Structure 1
């Protein structure tokens, strides 16, 4: 699906859902304007745009429109990216964070959900299914994105346990209890023998420590993981639909949202300030680990947000800096 097609398909989708022609024209005007803005300003496209690109567009809108109009146009982009996530064209909705920040700046009493560690522990305690528990704990313990989680292969995991029957990739062979997140996987491109359906948006590969809680959850999942016919051997595979096949972003989102809805953390019509989604778990990881460590650099490294010169420093000081800092400060969720 090209970028031009993604907008066209989205407009067709909202038409099928009963939007009138006037509303569809409004969406079309805003989305085409966004598309042109990205091409001229950043030489990029809607399917490749991230948080900063979206925020720059919103800032540009403020030079011409009232705050209420800007909020309306931002909601158009949010729905558009929600659609791209559902169809697997984008691994996360960059407008969710933009809207969170807009809400914080506009509302005198922002309603953004603030979940404490005890509350999150209680939520995690409701998840019994080995796959679902492993997915949620991987999100909460690593800050990984949905697409990056789906792209994980068995070789990206190194566990000091008999459950490991494979040889980890060279980058982590000497680093037990480690998860490797590649920066090379791109949507539509072949990697490790598989055409990827999601992109990893890291500036460079990241090695993330695994604590005892996450290790336990992964071992329990591996004990029941269906065999896969894929040569790449995905870490997370389907257990009902798509048996033994790599999980998709859509499946992961539906799985998480099933639990958050049942727990009262998600409702239809609720916005980014209210609903708890996989992207919120990344925010939770960032906020709580940063507050506990006081080290933004380490947290940015673990999120995959830092450039080569900084990341090299952390990688060379793995045991002395990143790993020790992480294991000393990572929160307990079970």
Structure 2
């Protein structure tokens, strides 16, 4: 977090969200009491905020509860915290839900050596090949080939895309004006705050601005999407093209996508494939964040260059990352295009 920038109160946002979804006052009050106690516990014991908490921090809280509460009450409170972190994951305030493993341990069903589902590249190609909807195909292809988070995808504006094709009618932002077929991922977007003239529904957890190359496969998926993308007020011919890159084509027609919509899209296709089960957890279910894991694993294995993968993911790293930033054209783009896998059958 940069100096002078205050971390948003994620508990407060979550409580507002459950209120908007019609939870009764008694339930809302229970969530508020439990989450406020948890927030105070983290601050006092670990000097952390909820988005910074790890699995071990959550487990320490559960152990403390067991000293004064029954197992049934502890289980109820743990379920509240699990839903809270599921919400934080959807809106981009945390990469993964730390309560997933805690609940598995509480249910005594955790594996001795837990691993994620192993989806092979041919299986993933078959999965993508079955997606016909232009928006859904572009979303999944983008997630798989860039390692971008769901919230970061939702925050993309048209000007964040520089695509070398006549379909581009807008002027890309200065960061990528001289870099055709590239994507700019910013750092400034924060859930609940105004950015680019609108209040954002997700945060960009990225610690560094990143320019990600676009290969021909992703370019084709984006062009197919742009051909049918609904116009928004900011993307009309008479207005500057500063609107969202990805917008809804169903109930939220023409409106910026939210992480919930992206998760719903991915979950639907994953369920059809047998890759998602309610209650399955991160080790079993294929979610938008699974695609980030898939990208990291496969590209790192193909390039043998952890630094480039860290750069593309936007991770905090040493000064070597600055080298990649300055040598984007010579090192990052060439390496990426040489080694990025295909997801088309």
* Contact 1:158 1:175 (8 Å CA) reproduced: yes
In 2: Cα distance, 1:257 partner to 1:92 partner:
20
TM superposition score normalised by structure 2: 0.80
Change (3 A) 1:113 1:97: farther
Q: Please tell me whether residue 58 in structure 1 is matched to residue 62 in structure 2.
A: no
Q: 1:113 aligns with which of 88, 111, 117?
A: 117
* Contact 1:78 1:93 (8 Å CA) reproduced: no
In 1: Cα distance, 2:229 partner to 2:333 partner:
28
Q: 1:134 aligns with which of 134, 138, 143?
A: 138
| Range that drifts further, 216-225 or 260-269 | 260-269
Which secondary structure state, in structure 1, belongs to the residue aligned with residue 217 of structure 2?
Answer: helix
Q: 1:295 aligns with which of 290, 298, 305?
A: 305
Match of 1:220 in 2: 224
Which secondary structure state, in structure 2, belongs to the residue aligned with residue 333 of structure 1?
Answer: coil
Q: Please tell me whether residue 234 in structure 1 is matched to residue 262 in structure 2.
A: no
In 1: Cα distance, 2:257 partner to 2:102 partner:
31
Which secondary structure state, in structure 2, belongs to the residue aligned with residue 244 of structure 1?
Answer: coil
Match of 2:174 in 1: 170
Match of 1:39 in 2: 43
In 2: Cα distance, 1:82 partner to 1:182 partner:
24
Q: 2:160 aligns with which of 147, 156, 165?
A: 156
Match of 1:146 in 2: 150
Aligned residues: 319
Change (3 A) 1:79 1:14: farther
* Contact 2:85 2:99 (8 Å CA) reproduced: no
- The superposition leaves residues 104-159 of structure 1 with CA deviations (integer Å, 9 ceiling, x where unpaired) of 99523536311110111110011001110000000000111111100000100011
In 2: Cα distance, 1:167 partner to 1:15 partner:
42
In 1: Cα distance, 2:136 partner to 2:176 partner:
25
Residue 58 of structure 1 and its aligned partner are, at CA, apart by: 3.3
Which secondary structure state, in structure 2, belongs to the residue aligned with residue 96 of structure 1?
Answer: coil
- The superposition leaves residues 181-234 of structure 1 with CA deviations (integer Å, 9 ceiling, x where unpaired) of 000111222222222221111111100011111000001111111111136311
* Contact 1:103 1:273 (8 Å CA) reproduced: no
Match of 1:324 in 2: 334
Change (3 A) 1:100 1:213: farther
In 2: Cα distance, 1:95 partner to 1:234 partner:
25
Change (3 A) 1:6 1:167: closer
* Contact 1:92 1:145 (8 Å CA) reproduced: no
- The superposition leaves residues 242-275 of structure 1 with CA deviations (integer Å, 9 ceiling, x where unpaired) of 2111111111111111111111111223222111
Which secondary structure state, in structure 2, belongs to the residue aligned with residue 179 of structure 1?
Answer: strand
In 1: Cα distance, 2:231 partner to 2:80 partner:
41
Change (3 A) 1:253 1:63: closer
In 1: Cα distance, 2:197 partner to 2:16 partner:
30
Match of 1:250 in 2: 260
Residue 59 of structure 1 and its aligned partner are, at CA, apart by: 6.0
Q: Please tell me whether residue 82 in structure 1 is matched to residue 92 in structure 2.
A: no
